[in-house]
Amino acid sequence: MAAAAYSVSGVSKWFGQIIAINDLTLESNTPVVGLLGPNGAGKSTLIKLLTGQIRPSRGQVRVFGEDPWNNIKLMARLGYCPEHDRFYEDLTVLQFVALLTRLQGYAPDRAHELAQAAIEQLELDSKRDAPISTLSHGMRQKVKLAQAIAHKPDWLLLDEPLSGLDPVSRAKVIVQVRALAESGAMLLVSSHVLHELQAMTSDILLLNKGRLVAQGQVSEIRKMIDAHPHRIALSAARPRELGRELLKFDDVARVEVESERIVIETRSPDACYSRIGELAASGDFPIDAMYSLDDNLEAVFRYLVK
């Protein structure tokens, strides 16, 4: 197995009395990883540790085998899109992206070329010469992404990169993330919008209150919650009658009626699915639709942070 591209070992980070990261240990060599967690889970703090912006209060951080703190050479291999804006507002989009690319060690002409390419990639051409102070929030978000990818980093760390983008722009950024991964770059993408991360990757790190709750593929993590009731939604013309019939099943623990839909909870989903199929096939209780509410990241997140 290849050496981990990044790792943290027994890392804690506190700010006064506030513990942002609590005895965290993890490593990964996965091309695209989604970093999940509610607000205040420690996602941004972890990214700042990995990008060398802050040092751990305790423990060790390694990126490509090196300590990221005060490591200028290593920083040239990383691309970082922060959650919050920090711009030189009077610069144009092209001037800003080119300036940050020069800080990665490129000569002015080459930095200009790379900046222009990144701007085109993110469809910012029409705003290339516009002062950043005149841009909308969504456009400013794209500028942050442009400066993160312009110098063609080996690893991109994107902190809430889809924040403020309209649906069309979000879809395009997701496509860009996939393309970057296919080109060989590694990515760590932080978000609390679960379905968007699910469109980028099935590999996740789940943080809650500064601790690692789960790591791995969603399909593997899903096995961790088998002890919890599995929820199944059914659409039917006679939901109350159907609910009463389903309560006769030994594996149905609970039934909720919601207008023309019912939601049942079961600890034996496979057996329950079979029974529902048999019931629908009998014709006594027509069922228009059936779908799981728990075979997704939302359910994984909800159960594991409890």
Would you state the pLDDT for residue 160? 87
- List of domains in the chain: 6-223 (3.40.50.300), 226-304 (3.30.70.100)
Of 31-35, 108-112, 151-155, 191-195, the poorest mean pLDDT is in: 191-195
Would you state the pLDDT for residue 1? 45
Of 61-70, 146-155, 194-203, the poorest mean pLDDT is in: 194-203
For the segment 263-294, what is each residue's pLDDT rounded down to a tens digit? 988 877 778 888 888 888 888 888 888 877 76
Would you state the pLDDT for residue 144? 93
Would you state the pLDDT for residue 66? 95
Q: Quick one: average pLDDT of 32-58? A: 92
For the segment 229-251, what is each residue's pLDDT rounded down to a tens digit? 778 888 887 888 888 888 888 88
For the segment 69-97, what is each residue's pLDDT rounded down to a tens digit? 999 899 999 999 998 888 999 999 999 99
* 214 confidence band (pLDDT: 50, 70, 90): confident
Residue 188 has pLDDT above 60, yes or no: yes
pTM: predicted TM-score of the whole model, two decimal places: 0.74
Would you state the pLDDT for residue 281? 82
Residue 228 has pLDDT above 80, yes or no: no
- 3-state SS, one letter per residue, for the chain: CCCCCEEEEEEEEEECCEEEEEEEEEEECCCEEEEECCCCCCHHHHHHHHCCCCCCCEEEEEECCECCCCCHHHHCCEEEECCCCCCCCCCEHHHHHHHHHHCCCCCHHHHHHHHHHHHHHCCCHHHCCCEHHHCCHHHHHHHHHHHHHCCCCCEEEEECCCCCCCHHHHHHHHHHHHHHHHCCCEEEEEECCHHHHHCCCCEEEEEECCEEEEEEEHHHHHHHHCCCCEEEEEEECCHHHHHHHHCCCCCEEEEEEECCEEEEEECCHHHHHHHHHHHHHHCCCCEEEEEECCCCHHHHHHHHCC
Residue 179 has pLDDT above 70, yes or no: yes
Contact 20, 210 (CB under 8 A): yes
For the segment 100-141, what is each residue's pLDDT rounded down to a tens digit? 999 988 999 999 999 999 999 888 999 999 999 999 888 898
Mean pLDDT of the chain: 86
Q: In percent, how much of the chain has pLDDT > 90?
A: 44
Would you state the pLDDT for residue 305? 65
